[in-house]
Amino acid sequence: MLQRLIKELRPVVSLEVGLAYGISALYICEALREVGAKRHIVIDPNQQNHWHNIGLHNIQAAGYADLAEHISDGSELALPQLLRDRVEIEFAFIDGYHIYDQTLVEFYYIDRLLKPGGIVVFDDADWPSVRKVCRYVTTNRAYSVHRCLEHEGQARCLPPKCTFLGQVAKHLPLLDRFLKPEWANPDSGLGLLPKSRCIAFKKTGPDDRHWEFHREF
């Protein structure tokens, strides 16, 4: 899925959170090389102490040392620094610590680095913490669901549909207040494949929300 997205999008600069063994980095770099990309930034604070540099070794052995650049810092420190350095990216893959707040912070900064038309992919999007961030992205931000991984290698885009409960809640705003957002507006209604473990979003435009804007997610 990552390779197909990269071949369609043809990014010049891309970014990844979470290196570990470097498996996703290898797939990403292979596709980036094919489209002539210039730079792949990989953020992971634990590559040396926890992973004994196996991810970096794999990148080097595969011949991508000139393309991939490792930042040995937590995403919460590395991403704001990239923003300060005015780095712009077209593609990002989030596969880091996965708790809700960490993933949301990663999305927040990646969005600031991502050009309109760019793509951000969440791995483990079937985990409740990551899924909640995906729901926030679709309901509150200028992003469209671009692709959901279905099963091995197959990905599709679901047309958003409204459930019966969702329809009722729409016409009775008071009822909406008492329903969990997941009931009033289920994942399928947002175009998110319920069990998909990898979801790609396309940035459709700049963030022009009013400062009071909020939608339950």
Ligand X SMILES: C[S@@+](CC[C@H](N)C(=O)[O-])C[C@H]1O[C@@H](n2cnc3c(N)ncnc32)[C@H](O)[C@@H]1O
Between residue 35 and residue 54, which ones bind ligand X under the rule CB under 6 A?
A: 43-46, 50
**Is position 110 an interface residue for ligand X (rule: CB under 6 A)?**
no
**Is position 21 an interface residue for ligand X (rule: CB under 6 A)?**
yes
Residue 77 or 175 with smaller CB distance to ligand X:
77
Q: Which stretch binds ligand X (CB under 6 A): 14-22, 81-89, 131-139, 202-210?
A: 14-22
**Is position 75 an interface residue for ligand X (rule: CB under 6 A)?**
yes
**Nearest approach, Cβ of 54 to ligand X (angstroms)?**
9
**Nearest approach, Cβ of 122 to ligand X (angstroms)?**
12
**Nearest approach, Cβ of 192 to ligand X (angstroms)?**
21
**Is position 130 an interface residue for ligand X (rule: CB under 6 A)?**
no
Q: Which stretch binds ligand X (CB under 6 A): 5-13, 73-81, 127-135, 195-203?
A: 73-81
Residue 74 or 118 with smaller CB distance to ligand X:
74
Name which position in 4, 8, 23, 183 contacts ligand X (CB under 6 A): 23
Residue 48 or 167 with smaller CB distance to ligand X:
48
Task: Concatenate the DSSP letters of all residues of the chain into one string.
Answer: -HHHHHHHH--SEEEEE--TT-HHHHHHHHHHHHTT--EEEEE-TTTTTTTTTHHHHHHHHTT-TTTEEEE-S-HHHHHHHHHHTT--EEEEEE-S---HHHHHHHHHHHHHHEEEEEEEEEESTTSHHHHHHHHHHHHHSSEEEEEEE-STT-EE-PPP---HHHHHHHH-HHHHHHS-HHHHS-GGGGT--TT-SEEEEEE-S-----TT-----
* Positions that interact with ligand X (CB under 6 A): 17-24, 43-46, 50, 74-76, 95-97
